[in-house]
Every structure is written in C-alpha cells, then in structure tokens.
Chains A and B, each alone.
Chain A
Amino acid sequence: MGWVEKLLSIDRRIIFLLVGAGVIVPLLLPVNLPVTVTPRVQAAYDAIDALPPGSRVLISMDYEPEIMAELMPMSIAVLRHCFRKHIQVVAMTLYPAGTGLGEHALDVASRAEGAVRNRDFVWLGYKSGFQVVMIGIGENLRGMYPVDFYGTPLDSIPMMRGVNTYAQLSMMINLSGSSAADYWIQFAQGRYHAPIVLGCTAVMATDYYPYLSSRQVLGLIGGMKGAAEYERLIDVFGDGRRGMDAQSLVHLIVVLLVVVGNAALFATRGGPGAPAARPGEAPPR
C-alpha cells in the first residue's frame, strides 16, 4: 500500500484527535483572532443602540442546550448592551428547556452590568404555543402572563407599568435556534408591526437574509461569528470571541482534510473525471 492509499484509509480517530485538539487548544490558549463586523450585525447593534434610555424591549430566547454554544454568548452580549444603555428588558422563552438558559443569560448579563430584576428586567419564563403566545402578547400581555417566572404579578412590577402589547415595546429581539423566528416575523412584525432584530444559529442565518433586505428584520446576528462581532461592538471579550479562535482552527482543519483527501484521490485515480471515493472504499479502522 502506497502512502496515498494509506492517507485515504487514515484511521478516523486521528481525525477526531485533530478536531479535538483544534477545539481545546485555542480555548485554553486564546489568541484573540481579529473579528470583522459584518453589515448585518452592525445593523442589529445600531437598531438597539438607537433606542433611547428607558425604552422597553421584548427578548425571546428560544433555544435549548444543544445550540447554547452559539446562542448563549449572543444572548449575553445583547442583554449587556441593553442594560448598559438602560433599556428595560422583558425576557421570555418558548422552549421548556430554554428556561434555565434564559435565566442564566440574564443572571450573567445583569451581574456584569449591575442590572436589577424587576427594575431593569423581567423574566417571564416559558409559555407553550408559539403563535398563541405571540398573538396573546399582541392583544393582552397580562392575559398571557399574569405573573412573571417567580410568581410576582406583573401589575406589581414597576417597569411593567403601562406595558401590555407590542405597541408599548420599542423592539422585539428574537434569539432563536428554530422556526420560532419565522413565527415572530409572521406575527409580531407582520401583524403587529413590531420592529424585529433577529439572532440565530449560523446554519439558519441565510434563511433570514430575504427578510433583512425587505426590512422586515432590522438586523441579523448569525451564529458564534455574529456573537463575536457583537461582543467586539460592545467591547467585551466573551465566549463568542473565545469560541471563534476554536471555530477558525477547526474550519481550517476541515478544509485541509478536504484538500488533502481530494489531492490524494487525484494522485491515485487521475483527476476530476475519476469515480468518487465511497465510504466503503476507504473503511475506517
């Protein structure tokens, strides 16, 4: 067996080790690679930054632990920006397993910026039924949430005075890893004309570009890269920027693997017209 064949049948555990090292080393030894802010994230930042102090925004953190690596840094960065600007936050989630995550994000951001529960933010927790909740907020928020997550009646929370529909909220910010974002656009923006800023996973981001160009969404924060860009805008070195070092290295490893795999195949088969390698031809050991 020549070196090319050996390369093509490389033990997949070596690839796993490479990827593992690519993730762990930059997290332990961050190099703080440069992060360029894209127009979409800048637009999201500008939309929030333009709100006057004392404005109230609704933030729905609609995600569960499997995608928290992407959306948690984004949530913390957006919340910190709001608290720093003295924008009051009404936070909620449409996912049962998102309750702990939303509470954690609020806890981290409020500690960092000195925000106080019920004065600077309210945590409404989880409520089931996507469209029902979205329309419910549009008609009567208190009908949907008579009390907050901790059982405090909304009427007794000073910052909730006079807030009962989207009309009293300056903006809706959805940080989502699912189709919840589609519903927020359809109902909160489409029906109730609430200005929307969206944050989502990198995989989902391209689905929302049409809404951005039609101005139905004011800004879009996509994946960990988007979170890193937002952290740069608010001048914070958080998990987003830390994670981008690891993500950069892993992307580079994957690209090198693809290039090496193709080069080795060309060397054995003689070019692009040759039959494709199938998993059975180079079985993992």
Chain B
Amino acid sequence: MRRVPLLVTFLSGAAIASLFFIPHHKAQAVNSKLLEWTLVVYAFALILGSLSLWMSHAKKVKKRAEGWPYSMVTLVALLAIPGLGIWKGVGAGSPVGMIYDTVNAPLASSMFALLAFVIASAAFRAFRARSAEATLLLLTAIIMMIGRVSIGELISANLPGITEWLLDVPNLAAKRAIAIGVGLGAVSTALKIILGIERSYLGRS
C-alpha cells in the first residue's frame, strides 16, 4: 500500500513536468484540468483551516484563557462575515464591502505602517559598524536609502547614478547567482520527490 502514494506522486510529477514542455492545445487542456484539481485541494484546506481556527479559539473562550475576548471576536467574525457575504453579497456597498473598507483595509495598512517606526528604532540601536563587512553594508544601505529617494538628488547629483550602479551590477550579479542556485535546488528536490528518493512527505523517513 505504501507504494500507491509514491506511484501517484511519480505519475503526477512526471505528467505536470512533461506537459509544461508540450505546447499542443490538447496537452495544455490536460494540464489545465490537472491544475484545476489543486482548487479542490485548496477548498478542503480552507475547510480544514476554518475548523482548526474555530476549535482553537473556541477552546480559549471556553477556558477563559488569556486574551479570550480576542478569540471571541475571531469566532464572531468567522461566522458573521461569510454569513453576510452569502446573504447580502460581497460587492461595493454591501455589508462585507463596508467591513472591508472600514475595518480590514485600515487595520492591515496600519499594521504594515508600524514597520517604519520599528525599523527606525531598531536601526538606531542595532545597525552598527562592528566589522569591515558590517561597515560596507552600512555604507551601502545609507547610499541606497538616500540615493533612492527624491532628497538624494538635492544632496548630490551623483547619488542616483551610484545607486543605479549598485542595483545593476553587484545586486544583479548576486540575484542571478541566487536565482540559479534556487532553481537548481528546486529541480533537484522535485526530482528526489518524483523518483521516491525523498519520502518525508509520507509522514515517516
């Protein structure tokens, strides 16, 4: 029985990899169909995730654990928002649309905006020229931070040019090297899984 998932993995992996290189429309139709099946997996993962979220937060509320009111908010939102979406729709002007505009969007933006404050504080305390490499990093960061914004041009007309060179030469070379390394690593890992050499996804080594 243990060979069945290995066989399914081999056939699926080999088929998807081969179909990528076959431009014929029939092959692409098969490929589309296979990829559509991933939506079924997403759907089941969504159900599983929602159940897991419900159980985890319901347990906290039941036990009155620390922060349980937040869990209550999560549970109410988990029920109310999909319910409202099914009942009233999700377009602009609908209750879900209003919740999105007045709660979700400002909260998500605010969370991300806090990064500016945290980074400024962390940079002041931890960004130190402690070695030659750290000094090089620090100088590059300073040139990039100033040269990539409008005020950099006012400080020195050469700064934007220096930042362009940093991006186009050292950065591009490093990015290419990383991309090639990641690509080769991904191919090697995929081959190991397709050929059944790597089996940890089965739950046992």
A positions within 8 Å CB-CB of B: 10, 12, 15-16, 18-20, 23, 33-36, 38-39, 64-69, 97, 99-101, 103, 128-129, 131-132, 135-136, 138-139, 149-150, 191, 202, 206-207, 209-210, 213, 225, 228, 244-245, 247-255, 257-262, 265, 272, 274-279, 282, 284
Contact = CB atoms under 8 A, between A and B. Distances in A.
Given A18-B120, A135-B28, A262 B138 contact: yes
B164 interface: yes
13 contacts: A18-B120, A35-B150, A39-B164, A65-B104, A66-B108, A97-B100, A97-B108, A139-B32, A206-B167, A253-B120, A277-B125, A277-B126, A284-B125
Given A34-B150, A139-B28, A262-B127, 8 more contacts: A12-B121, A66-B112, A68-B105, A97-B104, A97-B105, A210-B175, A252-B151, A276-B130
Contact of A100 (B36, B100, B154, B176): B100
Interface centre among B112, B116, B123, B171 (most CB of A within 10 A): B116
A80 B63 CA distance: 54
B111 A257 contact: no
A206 B171 contact: yes
Instruction: Please report whether the interface of chain B is mostly helix, strand, loop or mixed according to DSSP.
Output: helix
B90 interface: yes
A131 B125 contact: no
B142 A255 contact: yes
Contacts of A213: 172
B145 A254 contact: yes
Nearest to B164: A38
Interface string B21-40: 00101001101100110110
Contact of A252 (B32, B104, B127, B146): B146
A162 to B, nearest CB: 18
A65 B172 contact: no
Contacts of B154: 33-34
A256 B20 CA distance: 51
A252 B123 CA distance: 12
Contact of B175 (A16, A23, A209, A225): A209
A140 to B, nearest CB: 8
Contacts of B196: none
A131 B36 CA distance: 9
A13 B133 CA distance: 30
B145 A210 contact: no
Given A97-B104, A129-B38, A248 B120 contact: no
Contacts of A135: 28, 31-32, 35
A96 B172 CA distance: 33
B129 interface: yes
A209 B128 contact: no
Contact of B146 (A12, A35, A207, A255): A255
Nearest to B128: A276
A181 B23 CA distance: 22
Contacts of A129: 35-36, 38-39, 42
A129 B146 CA distance: 39
Contacts of A258: 123-124, 127, 138, 141-142
B200 interface: no
A248 B91 CA distance: 37
Given A16-B117, A254-B119, A261-B124, A209 B167 contact: yes
B150 to A, nearest CB: 3
Interface string B135-174: 1001001100110111111100000100010011001100
Contacts of A34: 150, 153-154
B104 A279 contact: no
Contacts of A252: 146, 149, 151
B179 interface: yes
